[in-house]
Amino acid sequence: MPVITTIEDLRRIYRRRVPRMFYDYCESGSWTEQTFRENTSDFGQIRLRQRVAVDMEGRSTATRMIGQEVTMPVALAPVGLTGMQSADGEIKAARAAEKFGVPFTLSTMSICSIEDVAAHTQKPFWFQLYVMRDQEFLENIIERARRAGCSALVLTLDLQILGQRHKDLKNGLSAPPKLTLPTLLNLATKWGWGLEMLGTKRRQFGNIVGHARGVTNASSLITWTAEQFDPRLDWEKVRRIKEMWDGKLILKGILDADDAKMALDVGADAIVVSNHGGRQLDGAVSAIRALPSILRAVGGQVEVHLDSGIRSGQDVLKAVAMGAQGTYIGRAFIYGLGAMGEAGVRTALEILHKELDVSMALCGHKTIEGLGHDILMIPEDFE
Ligand code: FNR
């Protein structure tokens, strides 16, 4: 096993270990992947100010996200099909997050169900909701999240219609996968992954199969999911969901200052500046570039979080110093999970923590709350 010191190391191991269609599903953006690429490259355009001769003893990266204590301002983002990257992947990721002291968000499109994850963890996790046309399913899944003790509902707003990803279309990705000859050949070479998968019964969307009317097997699942993302989602519906949930509400997928004001109006507890990791509108602005205008628009009246493009603790530092109260990682933890299961997610979190801690110190700060624009050099063309 090579020595692992960066998130990129984990990505390389993950790529070797997991079937190509699931690697591609993670490591892709929509259409030309411009937004996907700029999410990471734009972080590189922000420079940090080095400070010296500042006492660095007794530092801490601990802070709060929506009132919850966290070891560092990083949550695990909702990622569909996580249980296909590693058997029972959602449970492994949730356990790693819980032990590290950061929030885990379970996707609607997860393989392990809400109840499964709740049964294998001690602390409350967050649940991400996609708005589906089936009202009965919607009410039911909100109730299930409440019963499982989820401490926040993360409502995703940027996926009323699925962005097109060429790699997935070419690979014939579906759940369960369509077994074409190239897919079969690739699966046959991934022994470690295959044996793990044979050892679990959880291989379908656990939140949906057996819970949505008429969805009892793979083919009914495919038809149902294809029809269910609700293109009629509007702010009125967001309000209704807020009433139905009646707990902490995080609105995810905000990229525009006007939308941020609407989210404020609805009374969200936090918003997530995000372009879905470059998987929806290709050509959209990177999340970090959109952050300043959104912070200005909401003027501190709602917590602002950010995801899309975070691959290092320095990226976390930059987002937080710009004014985000927290960040989320998607691919960074999936690389770890696919590479080494629960231990890999823990490694990803440790890498980010180390980089955040050391960079914060070299910028002359000891606490997350003390961070601000003074440590940043931001290009003028950032919004
Ligand atoms: C996602 N994302 C996502 N978001 C969501 O609200 N529900 C979901 O089910 C999924 N599924 C999903 C699958 C995969 C493979 C990826 C990579 C992403 C988006 C995710 O929550 C987050 O916004 C991005 O992953 C953030 O970008 P980075 O950290 O991956 O660059």
When pLDDT is cut at 50, 70 and 90, the band that residue 308 belongs to is very high
Report pLDDT digits (tens) over 115-140: 999 999 999 999 999 999 999 999 99
- List beta partners, residue 305: 272, 326
- pLDDT of 119 reads 98
pLDDT at 217 over 90: no
Give the Cα separation of 65 and 229 in Å (integer). 28
Q: Average pLDDT of 349-377?
A: 98
CA 56 to ligand 1 centroid distance, Å: 35
- pLDDT of 2 reads 83
Average per-residue pLDDT in the chain? 95
Share of the chain above pLDDT 70, in %: 99
Report pLDDT digits (tens) over 261-277: 999 999 999 999 999 99
Task: Please state the atom number of ligand 1 nearest to the C-alpha of residue 158.
Answer: 6
Numbered residues of the known binding site for FMN: 78-80, 107, 128, 130, 156, 252, 274, 307-311, 330-331
Task: Please state the atom number of ligand 1 nearest to the C-alpha of residue 27.
Answer: 17
Q: Which of 14, 21, 34, 79 to mutate to test the pocket of ligand 1 (most atoms within 8 A of CB)?
A: 79
- pLDDT of 6 reads 98
Q: Are 106 and 75 in contact (CB under 8 A)?
A: no
The DSSP string of 233-257 is --HHHHHHHHHHH-S-EEEEEE-SH
Give the Cα separation of 140 and 186 in Å (integer). 38
Window from 141-150, 160-169, 245-254 with minimum mean pLDDT: 160-169
CA 78 to ligand 1 centroid distance, Å: 6
**Domains of the chain, start order:** 7-377 (3.20.20.70)
CA 361 to ligand 1 centroid distance, Å: 30
- Nearest protein CA to atom 13 of ligand 1, as residue: 79
pLDDT at 206 over 70: yes
Burial of 297 (0-12, 13-18, 19+ CB in 10 A): buried
Give Cβ neighbours of residue 215 (< 8 Å, ≥ 6 apart): 208, 209, 221, 224
pLDDT at 69 over 70: yes
When pLDDT is cut at 50, 70 and 90, the band that residue 175 belongs to is low
Report pLDDT digits (tens) over 313-339: 999 999 999 999 999 999 999 999 999
Q: Average pLDDT of 189-209?
A: 94
Share of the chain above pLDDT 90, in %: 87
Give the Cα separation of 68 and 56 in Å (integer). 26
Give the H/E segment covering residue 377.
Answer: strand 376-377
Beta strand pairing call for 152-156 and 126-129: parallel
Measured in degrees and rounded to the nearest 5, phi and psi for residue 357 equal: -60, -50
- Nearest protein CA to atom 19 of ligand 1, as residue: 276
Residue 191: other Cβ atoms inside 10 A:
10
Task: Please state the atom number of ligand 1 nearest to the C-alpha of residue 329.
Answer: 29
The DSSP string of 58-118 is T-B--EEETTEEESSSEEEPP-TTHHHHSTTHHHHHHHHHHHHT--BEE-TT-SS-HHHHH
CA 365 to ligand 1 centroid distance, Å: 31
The residues carrying an active-site annotation are 276
Q: Is the dihedral of CA 166, 32, 290, 64 positive or negative?
A: positive
- Do you find a cis peptide bond into 176, omega within 30 degrees of 0? yes
Numbered residues of the known binding site for glyoxylate: 25, 165, 276, 279
Instruction: Tell how far CA 358 is from the center of its chain.
Output: 24
pLDDT at 218 over 80: no
Pocket of ligand 1 (CB under 6 A): 25-26, 39, 77-80, 107, 109, 128, 156, 252, 274, 276-277, 279, 307-310, 329-332
- pLDDT of 168 reads 87
Q: Which of 276, 280, 308, 328 to mutate to test the pocket of ligand 1 (most atoms within 8 A of CB)?
A: 276
Beta strand pairing call for 249-254 and 270-273: parallel
